[in-house]
Structure 1
Amino acid sequence: MKNENIASGVRWQIFVEGLSAMTRVGLYPLEHEKPQAVELDIELSYKTGGRGMHADDAASVIDYDHYCTVVSSFLQGKPHTRLLETLASEVASLSFREFAMLDEIRVAIHKPKIRPNTARLGVASSWTRWSYETLLLQQPAESSVVA
């Protein structure tokens, strides 16, 4: 039996949990001295299908291994960012730029063990391609580094 799921217009979600990377982020002077560990939980939503798509066509899906490499490289190579909120917006913008089929993204960024009696602290937000194109693209980027 031929697998038609990918070619039939299915909405897919990829989830990345606990992606660790070193980056420069934070308000406090101590956080400006060196990179620190952050963890990301990311959900990507996209639709496959349409004319010319075939079942098992790797080009019709987002390669999650490549995605993790792009995000990790971006975080490790960028200059200091003051706010986790800004960093989350930059990860969303990078994702929409690099992966044209992406429709929606949810990004949560955590700083592990930075405060006593907590496992991690962080922020989370969601964007659609529309919000990226109308809101995020309109804001000046804190960094112009592209992975």
Structure 2
Amino acid sequence: MKPSEGCPAIEWDVVIEQLRAQTRVGIHAHERAAQPVVIEATLHCRSHALPQHIDDCLDYDAFCRMLQTYLDEQTHTDLVERLAADLLVLAFSRFAMLDDAVLTLYKPHAVRSAERVGVRLRWSRCDFLRWRARDSAAYVAAAA
């Protein structure tokens, strides 16, 4: 028996509120310029041992910097839904302890009469793995 078998999982949530960034997202011509976005996330982590070192945790500072760097550097995405998925692909790819996530991506200036509008995406690691397998298969098929 492996040491982790039969042991209860340790679970915790990392919560991020009001992370501000600039990016280019939207279908309208004026949205090709950088605009503010706000991110909120609940990142559910799971491990077989209580974290003892930052490498055992989801480093929320590194997570926020990763999102901000990606949003700043990406050239443009038409759909908020796709951009939210791209952010979660980064998260699941980088943080092995991430079990599931809820990420909300708001565009504060999208609708003049609303404080902000956005998209909330819920993904589990299984969802991510299925997406990655399907995306990889589509890439191979397109290259053939």
TM-score when scaled to structure 1? Answer: 0.81
Amino acid of the residue matched to residue 62 of structure 1? L
Aligned to 1:124: 120
**How many angstroms apart in 1 are the aligned matches of 2:20 and 2:46?**
27
Render the CA deviation track for 1:88-120: whole Å, top value 9, x for unaligned. Answer: 100010000111111101111001133222110
Classify 1:100/1:77 alpha carbon distance in 2 versus 1 (closer, same or farther; 3 Å). same
Q: Which is helix-richer, 1 or 2?
A: 2
**How many angstroms apart in 1 are the aligned matches of 2:106 and 2:54?**
31
Aligned to 2:9: 9
List 4+ stretches of structure 1 deviating above 3 A.
none
Contact 1:17/1:40, CA 8 A, preserved across alignment: yes
Paired residues, what number?
Answer: 131
Name stretches of at least 5 consecutive residues in structure 1 with no aligned partner. 1-7, 141-147
- The secondary structure found in structure 2 opposite 1:67 is helix
**How many angstroms apart in 1 are the aligned matches of 2:54 and 2:108?**
34
> How far is 1:125 from its partner?
1.3
Q: What does 1:1-147 correspond to in 2, within 5 Å?
A: 9-32=9-32, 34-50=33-49, 56-139=52-135
**How many angstroms apart in 2 are the aligned matches of 1:23 and 1:118?**
20
Amino acid of the residue matched to residue 71 of structure 1? L
RMSD: 2.1
Identity between Structure 1 and Structure 2 (%): 29
Render the CA deviation track for 1:3-52: whole Å, top value 9, x for unaligned. Answer: xxxxx7320101111111101100001111x11110011111111334xx
**How many angstroms apart in 2 are the aligned matches of 1:37 and 1:77?**
14
**How many angstroms apart in 1 are the aligned matches of 2:25 and 2:109?**
15
> How far is 1:136 from its partner?
4.5
Amino acid of the residue matched to residue 55 of structure 2? A
